[in-house]
Structure 1
Amino acid sequence: MFKSRYNITSILNVLCFFALFISNAQTKSTITGKITSESGKALEGVTIVVKNEYKGTVTNTNGEFVLDNVGNGNHIVQASFLGYTTQEKNINIASTNYNIDIVLKTELLEMNAVELTGKSKIRKINEQSYSVTSVSTKNLLNSSSDAKQILDRVPGVRILQEGGLGSNLSFSLNGFKGNQIKFFLDGVPMDNFGASFNLSSIPVNTIERIDVYKGVVPVWLGTDALGGAINIITNQSHNFLDTSYSYGSFNTHKASVNGAYTNPKNGFTFRGNLNYNYSDNDYKVLADIKDVNGNILETANVKRFHDRYRSVTARMVAGVVNKKFADQLLLEVIASGDDNQIQNGATMARVYGVITQESKSIINGLKYKKKDLFVEGLDVSLNSAYNINTIKTIDTLTGKVYNWYGEQINSNSQTDGEKGAPVSDLKFDNTEFTNQLNIGYLVNKHHSLSFNHAYQYFNRKEFDSKNPAKQAYFFPKSLYKNVLGLAYKYDFNQKWNTTLFGKAYLLKVNSSKEEGTNSETYIKNTILKNNIGYGVASSYFLLPNLQLKISYEHTYRMPLPDEIFGDGLLINSSENLGPEQSDNFNFNVGYNFNVAPNHHLDIKSTFVYRNAKDLIYEKVTVSSPQTNFENLAEARTIGIEGNINYKWKDFFNLGANVTYQNITDQADQTYSDYSGYQENFNKGARLPNTPYFFGNVNAGFNFKDVLYKETSLNLNYYLAFVNEYYLGWARYGNADDKATIPQQLSHNFEIAYSLKNNKYNISFECRNLTDEILYDKYRLQKPGRAFYLKLRYSL
């Protein structure tokens, strides 16, 4: 029965795929263009309106805009922007594509006499009824930051990293961590993109903005996220070139080339990204020097000696845009690979000197998008991807172990590798197919419907040349997942809108498990799960700039392949892992206003409530180098976050945010295979290894025409604070000797100089200015003070 259901689903996917290529017979055209100031500067957020057809949009960061489905004939195009004189142009469209460029003149008016009529894309996203924060990279392009560092400054977000560049990280959002948060690249799931394509390897130059959905996730993303979703939007400009190179401490190199070309006549478009990352990661750490039996001889500051990381990623997209049959029809290929030396296990208690892990990925994708397909108001999009990912983990050293000085010590075993398990040369061959279909229909200006179907198939083949006869490798490891969503949105007026939605989750997993207590004998294990979720999101403007938002969702998240099957390195398999569920509630208040001419304040506050059952969490002990995932019966999060941002003209900005989240175990009983049900002595205790109180402060100055015209000098300062929290359960042990992650305070400073309106750029950055000892995940020490120099060219 289950198998036939998925066969039907696959047939529907194929039928939908072919149906999208049937063109409609509408005589519609596309208007493109660019809006600049008199000095030639591209203007973002300019409102563009075709007056007689009531169609409109806003310009992107490059001042470009696209207006689709405009009827042929005479039209009036109006461009308006705060501080500039509104411009109107009469045009006559007789072909499918029309290009128009407009130069806006500065208008000298008193601030209280100007009414803002347009909203930027970032503001529109932030004003959705969902709890969402959209972060623009417009002022960060000269920074040596990556996607991880940008996100770590968002309220409610903490990224727990195991070390330097390329190391594993865990994303925390309002108490949910790791895989409970889903990641997307331009709307495509990144679940199995491979280790070489992650948050720390995506440079800021390739990113236009990052949308952070907290708690409730929109239907159109088509995901089973438990506590939120991150959508990374890459540069969508039709024509650009952006190259950069940075060099920094620990022999760190980052190079990036990004560009796009679009032919305005035939709609052909090509865009590509090439990113390279390398670091020795040989920073100093405070570590215990042990003998072969694990006895601590001394504690010393030593350099990491086996932590090199290098990766390369190439992304190519080609296709057509602005055609009658498709607003966008693109083929995409992403090829990436990395070579990672492994320095330690899940904690710093075990140090390695030879273990390595390599990964390679090929991702083939198809993207299709069409507004007003067949009938006006019917919008369709399709994102399909086929991923091939190979991961190889090598642990073949016997008879020797390492200490933190990098010295070899004779071990007590001639068969075990450095991990303390039999030697292995393990290879994973992962294949995955994902398909995202979105259909939206605007019934009228008050009512709209949207439907999403997300399908995922994952299969893994394992082989260990050192243990070729291991029985577990001969059992299938596959996962089938469907998520279906249906939403109805009611726009009562410009002040109030509400969205109701429902989701269906279907999961099938084929794997193996140990038969009884015999670790050498395995039997087939199949998991079938079906669940229903639902929710509501509503927004109301009490004042034009005072918005209230409330959202609720009963949601599920299915376990991922690595959580069930393990990763072959640090994560053991958990064959009986089940889905987790949560009731998520958000209440948001946002108010932005001018306190005086040229002085702007933006204030936001959010209350969060999460009640999660069967929560999937990573179980770690200080002494073990490996972890595994378990279901925690029940956990609750009650928290509040707030942020305030002040801006004076384009010269000075100051912002701060703070997050408090009390995440506690609420289960009455726990269950063990060995002892059955028993009283939960941790009920009411805060979850270990999870920050509960943290915040950020940022300040920046922007000086224009420094030394030369068309130049700018930017100074930015960032402060991050994390309060002390426990590594293990707080109720065990004495307060004086409990393992903790201490309070942390770090300072980063950036200076950037740009010439020719940001065409030529040079920047310098100092991270961890005061050289603090910083910890994150399982008290794994992060780099100390580091310096980076970046050169960037933009066209």
Structure 2
Amino acid sequence: MSSKIGNSVRISPVALAVVAAIANQSVAAETTEEALQLDKYVVTATQTSHELTTAPASMSVITGKALQETPVSDISDAIRHSEGIHLEQKGSNGRRGINIRGLSSAYTLVLVNGRRVDSNVSLIRGNDFDLSTIPVDHIDRIEIVRGPMSALYGSEALGGVVNIITKKGTNRFQGNASIDFSSPFGSDGGNETRNSISLRGPLVENKLFYSLSVDAQHRDAWTPYQDDPATANAQEDKLSPIEKKELYSVAGNLNWKINDQQTLDLDITHNKDERDGEFLQGSKSSITDQEIRRYTYGLTHSGQWAWGDSQLRYYREDMNFTERGASGAGKMEQTNQTVDGFVSKLLGDHLMTTGAEYRHTKLENARDFKTSGEATVSQKAVFLQDEWLINPKWSFTLGGRLDDHEYFGTHFSPRGYLVYTPTTALTIKGGVGKAFKAPSLLQLTEEYRLKSCGGSCFLRGNPDLDPEVATSYELGINYQQPGWHVGATIFRTDVDDLIQLQSSSQVVNNTRTYENVDAARIDGLELSAGVDLTRTVSLSANYTYTDARDKNTDEILHKRPRENANVRLDWQVTDAMGAFVRTHYVGEQEDSIKGKGDVDLQGYALTDVGVTYQLTKDLQLRTGITNIEDKTQDYDSDYGFSERGRTVYAGVSLSF
């Protein structure tokens, strides 16, 4: 395995890791950053730096530049067109989750600069608030790992990891201000605006740097069935398949370069996210009215020493939820505190990384914890990783993590990954890993009671639950030449002890609980390719096939499209103007519909077109239309959700 610096120098990732480990945390001189081209390198797979194509994992990267081309409400919009990704609909109010390789969003771990983001302890229904945590203009890139990463990150990384890496300040002052607007065709609402400003630069040259971003979004509820004579009753006229949203985010970073070996980062974010809408739940309408206020603080010390590298950090999330709606009015406070760190040292041809983590979560919820009003859980972990450069063509990464959970005890997650680069153009890699997902605090706590069954029963936690566990295998090949590339990956994931909510027929004393019952097998294939058709026109595409089945019955798992595909054509019309057209295809899937049983849902395609124009060196204009064919599903159809219809967008960005 090798990495390329510029066009001529080749070094191993092991050596690169010593030079540029923890790249997302440190601030180097601008000339060094340009020479190393660090944007071509990723850190999420190992917590050390690797070239994207030879990283020991299946990975994709979304750049900050790509985020500016189309309207992006949250992270799900940004990564929707990546291979292996499907946006699952979390209810009928327009909320979405990130499904990776056929595993639901509950198995996708969201990180910010490697720090876990987690509000799922408080809300178990339709929770997508974590995807709106960071202002879009504060994002430098998004790294996506497809496949299990519990060997490094523990629970929730069973399906994959989405790591949001933010911008850092340098010695050069930089700023950006953006205004974006989008509006569905017609008079049914759904208008969305986003205003943002981002500033970065030095407070003390060569010593102290800052980065600050502010983002404000407003989205009206989209009510395409208003005054529709086909609706069953007047109540449905108000239904909003996309709910109203008010979002305000502030993210800041201070980076102190203590000396040539040490840096100290202070990260502070504040996020306020309000949702309001009325949607169809079964045969009834349901009102959602929720608000989350999130405060995050992080302090990170990074060191690059003669003997190796180190990182030590503390971070804390304070979240206040207000909920009004189907589950009843209530207020919840969740606090997550984490201390973690690692050290990396080069021993011959082995880059050894070892670390530890301690997490403590406290939830205060008088509505659903009738006796004590709160619940807590603590967990700790240690991990060890060996990146072995066998020779210039072969490398092997072996690691494992031991988690100790307050409720269910210890769990070990090993992982091994082999990378072979016979030439600079060809990479063959594959591996096997075990991962787990711990039951949530609500699922584990017997005292917990939440209204369910339309208000006729309660959900109760089950302290006897075991973690869900998975074993995954993958083998991939990638070939790159100037002007074109192709890649293919096959994968299999076996999941046992899936946690499932008891069916309505199992209600006892008006109570339902959770149980370990299911086992699943997911087989899949990912294909990707790109080619420069001319000097100014390029074509790229990816395709994912997923066969997800119950291992006991061989029945197809619901709400998992068998196919997903993306095709994109880019045209650099002039030096200042660029245009694109892209199509996103969601294949057939199966679902269980009350009164109908299992139903096959037909696939559909969404096509977007867009134009960007660099009016001046610092001023960029963009416009386009998403879902140009106006493909939507009827709200009362078997889908249970509706894609937003044909929408026009426009935006302007000023750099300074």
Same fold (TM over 0.5): yes
Quickly say closer, same or farther: Cα 1:394–1:197, change in 2 above 3 A: closer
Match of 2:54 among 127, 142, 149: 127
How far does the alpha carbon of each residue in 1:239-268 deviate from its partner, in whole angstroms, 9 at most, with x for none? 421211111212211111112112563511
Structure 1 residues not aligned, in runs of 5+: 1-43, 69-97, 105-115, 396-418, 465-469, 509-526, 595-599, 668-682, 706-711
2:494 alignment partner in structure 1: 611
1:751 alignment partner in structure 2: 611
Residue 160 of structure 1 pairs with residue 88 of structure 2:
yes
Displacement of 1:591: 0.5
Q: 2:336 is aligned with what amino acid?
A: E
Alignment check: 8 A CA contact 1:285 1:781 kept: no
2:175 alignment partner in structure 1: 241
Alignment check: 8 A CA contact 2:631 2:643 kept: no
The 5 A counterparts of 1:169-188 are 169-188=96-115
CA distance in structure 2 between the partners assigned to 1:348 and 1:764 by the alignment: 38
Displacement of 1:319: 3.6
Q: Aligned to 2:497, what secondary structure does the other structure show?
A: strand
Displacement of 1:603: 0.7
Q: 1:157 is aligned with what amino acid?
A: I
CA distance in structure 2 between the partners assigned to 1:336 and 1:349 by the alignment: 34
Match of 2:590 among 711, 722, 726: 726
Quickly say closer, same or farther: Cα 1:242–1:120, change in 2 above 3 A: same
Specify the structure having the higher radius of gyration (Cα).
Answer: 1
Quickly say closer, same or farther: Cα 1:748–1:619, change in 2 above 3 A: farther
Displacement of 1:501: 1.1
Match of 2:240 among 279, 304, 308: 304
Quickly say closer, same or farther: Cα 1:792–1:748, change in 2 above 3 A: same
1:761 alignment partner in structure 2: 620
CA distance in structure 1 between the partners assigned to 2:497 and 2:588 by the alignment: 27
Alignment check: 8 A CA contact 1:377 1:443 kept: no
Alignment check: 8 A CA contact 1:273 1:315 kept: yes
Displacement of 1:236: 3.3
Match of 1:559 among 406, 416, 439: 439
Q: Aligned to 2:642, what secondary structure does the other structure show?
A: coil
2:361 alignment partner in structure 1: 458
How far does the alpha carbon of each residue in 1:293-343 deviate from its partner, in whole angstroms, 9 at most, with x for none? xxx6699876639932101011122240262461x2022211111221142
Match of 1:575 among 441, 458, 462: 462
Alignment check: 8 A CA contact 1:393 1:568 kept: no
CA distance in structure 2 between the partners assigned to 1:620 and 1:236 by the alignment: 49
Match of 1:714 among 570, 578, 589: 578
Residue 199 of structure 1 pairs with residue 96 of structure 2:
no
CA distance in structure 1 between the partners assigned to 2:297 and 2:272 by the alignment: 15
How far does the alpha carbon of each residue in 1:373-401 deviate from its partner, in whole angstroms, 9 at most, with x for none? xxx24211123211111111124xxxxxx
CA distance in structure 1 between the partners assigned to 2:628 and 2:449 by the alignment: 35
Alignment check: 8 A CA contact 2:203 2:210 kept: no
CA distance in structure 1 between the partners assigned to 2:591 and 2:37 by the alignment: 51
Displacement of 1:569: 8.0
CA distance in structure 2 between the partners assigned to 1:198 and 1:308 by the alignment: 17
Q: Aligned to 1:271, what secondary structure does the other structure show?
A: strand
2:157 alignment partner in structure 1: 225
1:316 alignment partner in structure 2: 252
Structure 2 residues not aligned, in runs of 5+: 43-49, 184-189, 453-457
Match of 1:698 among 568, 575, 578: 568
How far does the alpha carbon of each residue in 1:411-470 deviate from its partner, in whole angstroms, 9 at most, with x for none? xxxxxxxx3x7xx321111111012212111113x1121112222211111124xxxxx7
Quickly say closer, same or farther: Cα 1:454–1:290, change in 2 above 3 A: farther
TM-score by length of 2: 0.83
Residue 210 of structure 1 pairs with residue 138 of structure 2:
no
1:634 alignment partner in structure 2: 519
Q: Aligned to 1:781, what secondary structure does the other structure show?
A: coil
Displacement of 1:220: 4.8
Displacement of 1:633: 2.6
Alignment check: 8 A CA contact 1:179 1:560 kept: no
How far does the alpha carbon of each residue in 1:10-68 deviate from its partner, in whole angstroms, 9 at most, with x for none? xxxxxxxxxxxxxxxxxxxxxxxxxxxxxxxxxx97579999xx9979x99xxx99897
Q: Aligned to 1:782, what secondary structure does the other structure show?
A: coil
How far does the alpha carbon of each residue in 1:130-174 deviate from its partner, in whole angstroms, 9 at most, with x for none? 22222333344243234212211111110123489x953221111
CA distance in structure 1 between the partners assigned to 2:537 and 2:502 by the alignment: 45
2:476 alignment partner in structure 1: 588
Q: 1:755 is aligned with what amino acid?
A: L
Q: Aligned to 2:573, what secondary structure does the other structure show?
A: strand
The 5 A counterparts of 1:20-59 are 46=6
CA distance in structure 2 between the partners assigned to 1:46 and 1:263 by the alignment: 31
The 5 A counterparts of 1:295-444 are 304=240, 307-321=243-257, 323-324=259-260, 326=262, 328-344=263-279, 347=281, 349-353=283-287, 355-372=288-305, 376-395=306-325, 419=326, 424-444=328-348
Displacement of 1:233: 1.3
Quickly say closer, same or farther: Cα 1:207–1:491, change in 2 above 3 A: same
CA distance in structure 2 between the partners assigned to 1:251 and 1:620 by the alignment: 39
Quickly say closer, same or farther: Cα 1:101–1:559, change in 2 above 3 A: closer
CA distance in structure 2 between the partners assigned to 1:541 and 1:574 by the alignment: 49
Identity of aligned residues (%): 17
Alignment check: 8 A CA contact 1:723 1:743 kept: yes
CA distance in structure 2 between the partners assigned to 1:620 and 1:748 by the alignment: 40
Quickly say closer, same or farther: Cα 1:312–1:531, change in 2 above 3 A: same
CA distance in structure 2 between the partners assigned to 1:67 and 1:200 by the alignment: 26
